[in-house]
């Protein structure tokens, strides 16, 4: 049913609640965070509409590429660890009702020069939160992980709970299970504008106008102009991922035998990679460093594919650090990071209107948190507060 703006504006809230275009919560962007928010809201019996401009999931935003690392001993800051502990539980719940495995605990190995920060930061989080781990000196890295080549003075940190998630499957399952609990979704439907008035929030798409008591903005890279409006700067960058077929016996590199890994190649940045996933042929590698910035105007246009120079840079890291990994390149693609100036997320209530919640700026490390961010967003939308310790991610820190 198509409802024009004047139509909605002239209706009383009571009448609106019987309106099929009215929901308790609308979620703008049903990607990583948005699909999880829909799932948690629907499970609580809240009427929710998730809207995405593309397919759910899609390969135009920040969540494609078949794998995302998940780890608990967070080198970025120990404050993330309680959120991660809950995230793991919630991934387990989602997986219990999923026909396929979403989270694979392969173990994760972090390597850096002893003067750099990845291992020290991981140790800090592991000690503060009593997380299982092994601290490795150079000799131990070489004996326990013989596929890895490291210079002298490198140290390592191994975390058995680390591993990878399958992001497209995670989004698909959040949306599928949300739908089962009564959520509505609109894919390939672009939100063109949203406004607030004293009684509700109105959301205009290319098809119709919808209204809600609460709006969650989880628009990934497209959140940039929205947050700029309230004084929060986000930078969208183009990131490259590539898959290489290993030389020799591929079973050595399969997810049953090989860990996820991260090497601080040029502090504070690094390269990271994955074993061969079920049903796949190659090892994925990417660089965790903000790439070439993309303007808000250019984001809807075709993103430049990976260049020869970028791909040979990735190959050279594999050649230097993982024996036999750098065989023929199988495929490559780009994806988008949306980063804040401090590399920490923005999750909380809109500073100007508590009927709007924001989840943005995940700075290239957000996917693993989407299960718990979805739960926190559902708390904010349904009761205005959350028990999750997300104060350090509050948008107000920038304003």
Query: Would you tell me which residues interact with ligand FAD (CB under 6 A)?
Result: 28-29, 31-34, 51-54, 58, 61-63, 65, 68-69, 190-191, 218-220, 222, 239, 241, 286, 335-337, 360, 362, 364-368
User: Collapsing DSSP states into helix, strand and coil, what is residue 29?
Assistant: coil
Tell me the closest approach of the beta carbon of residue 393 to ligand FAD, in angstroms.
13
Q: Contact at 8 Å (CB) between 65 and 335?
A: yes
Q: How far apart are CA 22 and CA 17, in angstroms?
A: 6
Q: What is the DSSP string of 109-171?
A: EEEEETTSSHHHHHHHHHHHTT---EEE-HHHHHHH-TTB---TTEEEEEETT-EEE-HHHHH
DSSP state letters, 268-314: TEEEEE--BPTT--SEEEEEES--EE--TTTTTSPPPPPPHHHHHHH
Q: Which residue number, 88 or 324, has a Cβ lying nearer to ligand FAD?
A: 88
Q: Compare residues 140 and 333 and give the one whose CB is closer to ligand FAD.
A: 333
The 3-state secondary structure of 346-365 reads EEEEECCEEEEEEEECCCCC
Minimum distance from residue 330 beta carbon to ligand FAD (Å): 16
Report, in Å, the least distance between residue 153 CB and ligand FAD.
Answer: 26
Contact 114, 150 (CB under 8 A): no
Report, in Å, the least distance between residue 336 CB and ligand FAD: 5
Q: Closest CB to ligand FAD among 116 and 168?
A: 168
Cα 209 to Cα 201: distance, rounded to the nearest angstrom: 10
DSSP conformational letter for 341: T
Shorter beta-carbon distance to ligand FAD: residue 16 or 335: 335
Separation of CA 168 from chain center:
11
Give the nearest residue (CB) to ligand FAD. Answer: 31
**Closest approach of ligand FAD to the CB of residue 363, in Å:** 7
Residue position matching structure tokens 């135009």: 60
Contact 395, 357 (CB under 8 A): no
Is 34 or 348 the residue whose CB approaches ligand FAD more closely?
Answer: 34
Nearer to ligand FAD, 30 or 123 (CB): 30
Structure tokens at 179: 């739908």
- The nearest distance, CB 249 to ligand FAD, in angstroms, is 26
- Min CB(95)–ligand FAD separation in Å: 17
In the bound state with ligand FAD, the residue whose beta carbon lies nearer, of 68 and 133, is 68
Return the number of the residue (11 or 48) whose C-beta is nearest ligand FAD: 48
Count how many residues are written for the chain.
399
Least Cβ distance, residue 53 to ligand FAD (angstroms) = 4
């Amino acid at each position: 049913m198509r409802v024009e703006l004047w139509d909605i504006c002239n209706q009383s809230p009571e009448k609106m609640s019987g309106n099929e275009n009215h929901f308790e919560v609308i979620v703008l962007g049903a990607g990583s965070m948005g699909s999880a928010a829909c799932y948690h809201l629907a499970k609580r019996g809240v009427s929710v509409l998730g809207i995405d401009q593309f397919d759910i999931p899609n390969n135009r935003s920040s969540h494609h590429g078949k794998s995302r690392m998940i780890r608990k001993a967070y080198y970025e800051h120990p404050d993330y660890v309680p959120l991660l502990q809950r995230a793991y539980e919630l991934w387990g719940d989602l997986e219990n009702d999923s026909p396929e495995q979403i989270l694979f605990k392969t173990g994760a190995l972090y390597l850096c020069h002893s003067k750099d920060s990845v291992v020290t930061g991981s140790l800090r989080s592991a000690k503060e939160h009593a997380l299982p781990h092994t601290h490795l000196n150079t000799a131990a890295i070489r004996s326990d992980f013989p596929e890895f080549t490291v210079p002298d003075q490198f140290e390592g940190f191994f975390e058995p709970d680390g591993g990878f998630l399958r992001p497209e499957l995670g989004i698909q399952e959040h949306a599928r299970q949300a739908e089962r609990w009564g959520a509505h979704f609109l894919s390939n439907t672009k939100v063109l504008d949203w406004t607030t008035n004293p009684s509700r929030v109105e959301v205009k798409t290319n098809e119709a106008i919808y209204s809600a008591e609460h709006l969650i903005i989880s628009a990934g890279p497209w959140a940039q102009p929205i947050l700029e409006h309230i004084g929060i700067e986000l930078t969208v960058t183009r990131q490259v991922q590539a898959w290489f077929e290993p030389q020799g016996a591929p079973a050595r590199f399969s997810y049953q035998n090989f860990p996820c890994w991260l090497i601080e190649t040029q502090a504070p940045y690094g390269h990271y990679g994955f074993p061969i996933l079920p049903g796949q042929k190659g090892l994925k590698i990417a660089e965790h460093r903000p790439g070439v910035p993309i303007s808000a105007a250019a984001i809807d246009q075709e993103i430049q594919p990976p260049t020869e120079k970028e791909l040979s840079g990735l190959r050279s890291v594999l050649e230097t650090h993982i024996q036999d990994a750098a065989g023929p390149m199988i495929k490559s693609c780009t994806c988008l990071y949306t980063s804040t100036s401090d590399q920490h997320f923005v999750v909380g209530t809109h500073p100007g209107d508590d009927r709007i919640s924001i989840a943005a700026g995940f700075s290239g490390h957000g996917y693993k948190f989407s299960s718990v961010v979805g739960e926190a967003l559902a708390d904010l939308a349904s009761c205005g507060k959350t028990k999750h310790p997300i104060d350090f991610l509050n948008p107000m820190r920038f304003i």
